[in-house]
A and B are shown apart, each in its own frame.
Chain A
């Protein structure tokens, strides 16, 4: 009897201290971390571990079964779906927030709007001077993130029509150094998350319909989806563990969870 109760207590304990693991995108990481912290504060028994590594790393961990939730800053790729299908696993997807990317230039730059085609030209190296897009006669200096970043891929797919960046693009190790460089280089252009837009740089209005309508990045335009360079952030989890991870996912989607989204600088879901 005593033995059983000890075992029972042990099982209960193990159950309560079972820690959920989240792995993946470094973009989602700060958000998930904050959500996890306040979730654990509200539910004393819950334990959540959040680690980064990149969206691809998270999803491959989901395939291997080394994480419960994969955080991703892009939609799961067909090839990754295939891998999951091969492993005989079905998955669920939850959109937890949106992230808007702002295209920024030096504040001294007179250009204040660009079309998608112009941005494609600039980032692929076809357009080299600001006077080609209505600015002064000044060489364009393009800053980008390193190729390992999910933002690099998203921008390439979404804005550059899947073409490769020009070789002359300067790649910076972090968003902070992009801001620093753009603020001190007159002909600079680059992209950063909406949360990073400060007064040292100027965010451009962009148009994805060949110049009919230009929209500037802000929390409001991102919320009503009129700003085009916006990407959803996802959680992916296996259907088999839905019961254990659902409470946390629900928390992230709740009013309280979405409030955290906005404090981190991402765009909350609109209902």
Chain B
């Protein structure tokens, strides 16, 4: 009976995990079945224009007026004339369009027909049956565009830019920096507390460190923004203090209690006989720690590292406040960065459910999941090999 209950609860837990992962990937992968142009909209050009296809980047450059001549896209030398459906007011009066937009399709059709350099963006249902222009062919979001693209403008009209490279790199830089700061510091603190500090100091320090884990992440974020950001700006003489490093430091502090408590517990589990045997053989205290305690507790230490990294990769609010969130490819840790969790948190609220932006954010979630999985597997693999070698 009890065995059954225990089994049931573990089955439910694993099932939930599988379900969540399934849901995440189902929503995320769907991004590749969508076009970067909003559902129900179309982009048209004059029928004499030779251009047939534009990538979403080309469309964005056109609408940002960076590309201003069709000749830059391999067609005749006409300057590009932008048209959004709101611009119809410059061509026709409201009476001509009709109260319920019944004449809109024919108006649009004749505008597109009369201007050779036009590119127009409007809802597909206002495409007249005998439309005199040409609809542009737009590809679905491709894997190459998604992972190789360097611009993240999920709400850009008419064509969204979904390059996740800056976000992935930002996440990796910030988490890597965090773990680089937190792991040595955390391990040193754990060794001190489990092996060197006497009981009285330990009794004071341990609850203090555990208290760190209980502080809400917004508080860390605010602390980072007000204290750490200006310090970094001053020390490195930067134009801006909101950098990846600020994120790393805040995340490092947040990961510390996890790393310290778990690895300290593991170290304290080293059998007393082993330590005493080592000391009796003439090993110094440091040799005992290095040769006996650490190897014995390595699996606990790696678990601490995994959980610490997990916290760093997935942390949202604190990072959102201190890293500046600029979606650029970072070249050093002293630049503003945008991480995946911060992006999801900041944008999911306004993304229309089921739309392209929404699916793209889920795809980001999938990427985050894969990153954590890979880190966990690597650490697991490394630590199990180390252990095997020592015994």
Chain A residues proximal to chain B, CB less than 8 Å:
54, 56-57, 77-79, 82, 85, 124, 138-139, 141, 146-148, 162-164, 167-173, 177, 180-181, 184-188
Contact = CB atoms under 8 A, between A and B. Distances in A.
Contacts of B320: 173
Contact of A181 (B242, B327, B349): B242
B101 A171 contact: no
B346 interface: yes
Interface of B: 60, 63-65, 85-86, 88, 100-101, 123, 150-156, 166, 225-226, 229-230, 233, 239-242, 320-321, 324-328, 336, 338, 346-347, 349-352
Contact of A188 (B60, B154, B240): B240
Given A78-B86, A148-B347, A170-B326, A177 B65 contact: no
Contacts of A85: 100-101
Contacts of A163: 63-65
A172 B240 CA distance: 13
Contact of A124 (B60, B64, B324): B64
26 contacts: A77-B86, A78-B85, A82-B101, A138-B239, A147-B153, A147-B154, A148-B155, A148-B349, A163-B63, A164-B60, A164-B63, A164-B64, A167-B152, A167-B166, A167-B326, A167-B327, A170-B326, A171-B325, A171-B346, A177-B321, A181-B225, A184-B229, A184-B230, A184-B233, A185-B239, A187-B239
A139 B239 CA distance: 6
A185 B101 contact: no
Nearest to A57: B350
Contacts of A148: 155, 346-347, 349-351
Nearest to B347: A148
B266 to A, nearest CB: 37
Contacts of A77: 86
Contact of A162 (B63, B153, B240, B349): B63
B239 A164 contact: no
Contacts of A187: 239-240
Contacts of B239: 138-139, 141, 185-187
A242 B212 CA distance: 55
A169 B326 CA distance: 5
A54 B350 CA distance: 7
Nearest to B88: A78
B63 A168 contact: no
B36 to A, nearest CB: 14
A184 B326 CA distance: 18
A181 B336 CA distance: 13
A153 to B, nearest CB: 8
Nearest to A139: B239
B241 A184 contact: yes
B151 A167 contact: yes
A147 B242 CA distance: 18
Given A85-B100, A139-B239, A148-B351, 4 more contacts: A163-B63, A164-B63, A181-B242, A185-B239
B357 to A, nearest CB: 9
Contacts of A184: 229-230, 233, 241
A166 B156 CA distance: 12
A177 B225 contact: yes
A42 B86 CA distance: 42
A147 B342 CA distance: 13
Nearest to B87: A78
B327 to A, nearest CB: 6
Contacts of B327: 167
A207 to B, nearest CB: 21
Nearest to B163: A167
A185 B230 CA distance: 8
B349 to A, nearest CB: 6
B101 A173 contact: no
A138 B240 CA distance: 11
B257 to A, nearest CB: 25
Contact of B242 (A57, A138, A167, A170): A170
A128 to B, nearest CB: 10
A20 B327 CA distance: 41
Contacts of B240: 141, 170, 185, 187-188
